[in-house]
Amino acid sequence: MKTPAEGQFELHRPNFLSLALPKETALARIWDEIHEQHAEADRLNAKYGVRFHIFKGIESDILADGSLDYPDDVMNQFDFVVASVHSRFRIDPREQTERILRAVAHPRTTILGHMTGRQLLRRPGYEIDIQKVLKACAKHGVAVEINANPWRLDLDWHWHGRALELGCMMSINPVAHSTAEIALTHWGVEMARKGGVPKERVLNCLELPAFTDFLNRRRRRGMRSKPRTRQTPARRSRER
Protein backbone atom coordinates (compact mmCIF):
# COMPACT_ATOMS: atom_id res chain seq x y z
CA MET A 1 0.00 0.00 0.00
CA LYS A 2 1.49 3.33 -1.07
CA THR A 3 1.30 6.43 1.11
CA PRO A 4 -0.29 9.56 -0.48
CA ALA A 5 3.17 11.06 -0.97
CA GLU A 6 4.37 7.91 -2.74
CA GLY A 7 1.28 8.08 -4.91
CA GLN A 8 2.24 11.62 -5.93
CA PHE A 9 5.73 10.39 -6.76
CA GLU A 10 4.38 7.63 -8.99
CA LEU A 11 1.94 10.04 -10.67
CA HIS A 12 4.57 12.63 -11.61
CA ARG A 13 7.71 10.52 -11.96
CA PRO A 14 7.78 10.73 -15.81
CA ASN A 15 7.85 14.53 -15.79
CA PHE A 16 9.52 15.76 -12.61
CA LEU A 17 12.90 15.32 -10.94
CA SER A 18 11.72 16.98 -7.77
CA LEU A 19 8.54 17.95 -5.99
CA ALA A 20 8.29 21.14 -3.94
CA LEU A 21 5.53 21.10 -1.36
CA PRO A 22 4.62 24.54 0.04
CA LYS A 23 2.13 24.77 2.91
CA GLU A 24 -0.17 27.79 3.12
CA THR A 25 -2.39 27.01 6.10
CA ALA A 26 -2.50 28.60 9.56
CA LEU A 27 0.55 27.52 11.51
CA ALA A 28 -1.14 26.90 14.84
CA ARG A 29 -3.52 24.36 13.31
CA ILE A 30 -0.98 22.45 11.25
CA TRP A 31 2.21 22.36 13.30
CA ASP A 32 1.91 18.63 14.00
CA GLU A 33 1.00 18.03 10.36
CA ILE A 34 4.11 19.92 9.24
CA HIS A 35 6.33 17.71 11.39
CA GLU A 36 4.62 14.61 10.00
CA GLN A 37 5.02 15.78 6.41
CA HIS A 38 8.67 16.64 6.94
CA ALA A 39 9.32 13.21 8.41
CA GLU A 40 7.55 11.59 5.45
CA ALA A 41 9.54 13.72 3.01
CA ASP A 42 12.78 12.70 4.71
CA ARG A 43 11.76 9.03 4.50
CA LEU A 44 10.92 9.27 0.79
CA ASN A 45 14.09 11.21 0.00
CA ALA A 46 16.11 8.49 1.70
CA LYS A 47 14.17 5.81 -0.19
CA TYR A 48 14.41 7.30 -3.69
CA GLY A 49 17.84 8.90 -3.33
CA VAL A 50 19.08 10.71 -6.45
CA ARG A 51 16.10 9.57 -8.55
CA PHE A 52 13.70 12.07 -7.01
CA HIS A 53 13.76 14.67 -4.25
CA ILE A 54 11.01 16.35 -2.24
CA PHE A 55 11.73 19.92 -1.15
CA LYS A 56 9.92 21.43 1.82
CA GLY A 57 8.35 24.81 1.30
CA ILE A 58 5.90 27.17 2.93
CA GLU A 59 3.92 30.16 1.70
CA SER A 60 4.12 33.05 4.14
CA ASP A 61 1.80 36.03 4.14
CA ILE A 62 3.31 39.46 3.69
CA LEU A 63 1.86 41.48 6.54
CA ALA A 64 0.92 45.16 6.38
CA ASP A 65 4.35 46.28 7.54
CA GLY A 66 6.18 44.03 5.05
CA SER A 67 7.21 41.42 7.60
CA LEU A 68 6.40 37.74 7.11
CA ASP A 69 3.83 36.05 9.30
CA TYR A 70 5.93 33.08 10.41
CA PRO A 71 8.82 33.40 12.87
CA ASP A 72 12.32 32.74 11.58
CA ASP A 73 12.76 29.54 13.58
CA VAL A 74 9.78 28.08 11.68
CA MET A 75 10.92 29.25 8.25
CA ASN A 76 14.42 27.91 8.89
CA GLN A 77 12.97 24.39 8.85
CA PHE A 78 11.94 24.75 5.19
CA ASP A 79 14.01 24.62 2.02
CA PHE A 80 12.22 27.61 0.54
CA VAL A 81 9.67 30.29 1.44
CA VAL A 82 7.18 31.89 -0.95
CA ALA A 83 6.20 35.36 0.28
CA SER A 84 2.83 36.61 -0.98
CA VAL A 85 0.30 39.37 -0.32
CA HIS A 86 -3.17 38.09 0.58
CA SER A 87 -4.76 41.13 2.23
CA ARG A 88 -4.93 44.93 2.21
CA PHE A 89 -5.01 45.28 -1.56
CA ARG A 90 -6.28 48.87 -1.65
CA ILE A 91 -3.57 50.76 0.20
CA ASP A 92 -1.58 53.59 -1.38
CA PRO A 93 0.61 52.35 -4.28
CA ARG A 94 3.79 53.73 -2.72
CA GLU A 95 3.00 52.08 0.60
CA GLN A 96 2.12 48.82 -1.14
CA THR A 97 5.40 48.90 -3.05
CA GLU A 98 7.43 49.52 0.10
CA ARG A 99 5.57 46.71 1.84
CA ILE A 100 6.59 44.24 -0.87
CA LEU A 101 10.15 45.57 -1.01
CA ARG A 102 10.56 44.87 2.70
CA ALA A 103 9.31 41.33 2.18
CA VAL A 104 11.69 40.77 -0.74
CA ALA A 105 14.58 41.98 1.43
CA HIS A 106 13.62 39.52 4.18
CA PRO A 107 16.48 37.02 4.46
CA ARG A 108 14.12 34.02 4.45
CA THR A 109 12.22 34.93 1.26
CA THR A 110 13.04 32.65 -1.68
CA ILE A 111 10.24 33.44 -4.15
CA LEU A 112 7.89 36.42 -4.45
CA GLY A 113 4.42 35.02 -5.13
CA HIS A 114 1.81 36.52 -7.53
CA MET A 115 3.40 39.96 -7.46
CA THR A 116 0.35 42.07 -8.38
CA GLY A 117 -2.39 39.94 -6.78
CA ARG A 118 -4.65 40.10 -9.82
CA GLN A 119 -7.37 37.57 -10.55
CA LEU A 120 -8.41 37.68 -14.19
CA LEU A 121 -12.09 38.52 -14.79
CA ARG A 122 -12.48 38.89 -11.01
CA ARG A 123 -10.37 41.78 -9.75
CA PRO A 124 -7.49 43.96 -10.93
CA GLY A 125 -4.12 43.75 -9.27
CA TYR A 126 -3.02 46.20 -6.61
CA GLU A 127 -1.01 49.16 -7.82
CA ILE A 128 2.74 48.87 -7.27
CA ASP A 129 5.97 50.01 -8.90
CA ILE A 130 6.69 46.71 -10.65
CA GLN A 131 10.08 47.78 -11.95
CA LYS A 132 11.26 48.75 -8.47
CA VAL A 133 10.11 45.38 -7.11
CA LEU A 134 11.85 43.52 -9.93
CA LYS A 135 15.09 45.38 -9.22
CA ALA A 136 14.83 44.37 -5.56
CA CYS A 137 14.23 40.72 -6.49
CA ALA A 138 17.34 40.75 -8.68
CA LYS A 139 19.38 42.44 -5.95
CA HIS A 140 18.39 39.98 -3.22
CA GLY A 141 18.37 36.83 -5.36
CA VAL A 142 14.62 36.29 -4.92
CA ALA A 143 12.85 34.46 -7.75
CA VAL A 144 9.77 36.04 -9.33
CA GLU A 145 6.76 33.78 -9.57
CA ILE A 146 4.90 33.18 -12.79
CA ASN A 147 1.71 31.97 -11.18
CA ALA A 148 0.29 29.31 -13.50
CA ASN A 149 -3.26 29.36 -12.17
CA PRO A 150 -5.45 30.51 -15.11
CA TRP A 151 -7.14 33.04 -12.82
CA ARG A 152 -3.79 34.71 -12.08
CA LEU A 153 -1.01 34.28 -14.69
CA ASP A 154 0.91 36.74 -12.54
CA LEU A 155 3.51 38.18 -13.18
CA ASP A 156 2.01 39.24 -16.51
CA TRP A 157 4.05 38.16 -19.53
CA HIS A 158 4.56 41.78 -20.67
CA TRP A 159 6.98 42.21 -17.73
CA HIS A 160 9.00 39.05 -18.26
CA GLY A 161 11.51 40.65 -20.62
CA ARG A 162 12.22 43.49 -18.19
CA ALA A 163 12.62 41.02 -15.35
CA LEU A 164 15.23 39.15 -17.38
CA GLU A 165 17.05 42.37 -18.26
CA LEU A 166 17.30 43.24 -14.57
CA GLY A 167 18.72 39.79 -13.75
CA CYS A 168 15.70 38.09 -12.17
CA MET A 169 15.20 34.36 -11.94
CA MET A 170 11.61 33.24 -12.58
CA SER A 171 9.65 30.38 -10.99
CA ILE A 172 6.62 28.74 -12.64
CA ASN A 173 4.26 27.65 -9.87
CA PRO A 174 0.84 25.99 -10.28
CA VAL A 175 -0.30 26.76 -6.71
CA ALA A 176 -1.85 23.32 -6.72
CA HIS A 177 -4.34 22.47 -3.98
CA SER A 178 -4.69 18.93 -5.34
CA THR A 179 -2.50 16.58 -7.37
CA ALA A 180 -4.69 17.22 -10.43
CA GLU A 181 -3.92 20.95 -10.28
CA ILE A 182 -0.19 20.32 -10.72
CA ALA A 183 -1.10 20.11 -14.41
CA LEU A 184 -1.85 23.85 -14.31
CA THR A 185 1.93 24.29 -14.66
CA HIS A 186 1.22 24.10 -18.40
CA TRP A 187 -0.34 27.58 -18.42
CA GLY A 188 2.65 29.06 -16.64
CA VAL A 189 4.95 27.50 -19.22
CA GLU A 190 2.86 29.04 -22.01
CA MET A 191 3.10 32.48 -20.38
CA ALA A 192 6.86 32.14 -19.89
CA ARG A 193 7.26 31.22 -23.55
CA LYS A 194 5.14 34.18 -24.56
CA GLY A 195 7.31 36.41 -22.41
CA GLY A 196 10.50 35.03 -23.96
CA VAL A 197 11.81 33.43 -20.76
CA PRO A 198 14.52 30.83 -21.49
CA LYS A 199 14.47 27.65 -19.44
CA GLU A 200 17.81 28.44 -17.78
CA ARG A 201 16.13 31.46 -16.14
CA VAL A 202 13.29 29.39 -14.69
CA LEU A 203 14.08 28.10 -11.22
CA ASN A 204 12.09 24.89 -11.51
CA CYS A 205 13.46 24.11 -14.98
CA LEU A 206 16.94 23.74 -13.53
CA GLU A 207 18.50 20.33 -13.13
CA LEU A 208 18.32 19.02 -9.59
CA PRO A 209 21.90 20.00 -8.58
CA ALA A 210 21.45 23.55 -9.89
CA PHE A 211 18.04 23.88 -8.23
CA THR A 212 19.48 22.68 -4.93
CA ASP A 213 22.41 25.07 -5.28
CA PHE A 214 20.05 28.03 -5.80
CA LEU A 215 18.13 27.20 -2.63
CA ASN A 216 21.32 26.66 -0.64
CA ARG A 217 22.83 29.95 -1.82
CA ARG A 218 19.65 31.82 -0.91
CA ARG A 219 19.56 30.18 2.53
CA ARG A 220 23.22 30.99 3.15
CA ARG A 221 22.62 34.60 2.22
CA GLY A 222 19.69 34.67 4.61
CA MET A 223 21.68 33.11 7.43
CA ARG A 224 24.35 35.82 7.05
CA SER A 225 21.71 38.51 7.45
CA LYS A 226 20.57 39.70 10.84
CA PRO A 227 17.77 37.41 12.09
CA ARG A 228 14.29 38.89 12.16
CA THR A 229 12.53 37.19 15.00
CA ARG A 230 8.84 37.63 15.71
CA GLN A 231 6.14 35.94 17.69
CA THR A 232 3.75 33.75 15.77
CA PRO A 233 0.71 36.00 15.28
CA ALA A 234 -2.95 35.14 15.22
CA ARG A 235 -3.77 34.69 11.56
CA ARG A 236 -6.48 36.83 10.09
CA SER A 237 -8.83 36.00 7.27
CA ARG A 238 -7.40 36.30 3.79
CA GLU A 239 -8.87 38.16 0.88
CA ARG A 240 -6.89 35.82 -1.43
Q: What is the mean pLDDT of each run of 10 residues along the chain (240 residues)?
A: 50 52 58 87 89 89 95 90 95 97 96 96 95 97 97 97 98 90 94 98 93 88 58 46
Give Cβ neighbours of residue 49 (< 8 Å, ≥ 6 apart).
none
d(CA 204, CA 206): 5
- Give the pLDDT of residue 125: 94
SS3 content of the chain, % helix, strand, coil (to 5): 45, 15, 40
Per CATH, the number for 59-224 is: 3.20.20.140
- Give the pLDDT of residue 46: 94
Helix (H) or strand (E) holding 81: strand 80-84
pTM: 0.84
Helix (H) or strand (E) holding 163: helix 160-166
- Give the pLDDT of residue 236: 43
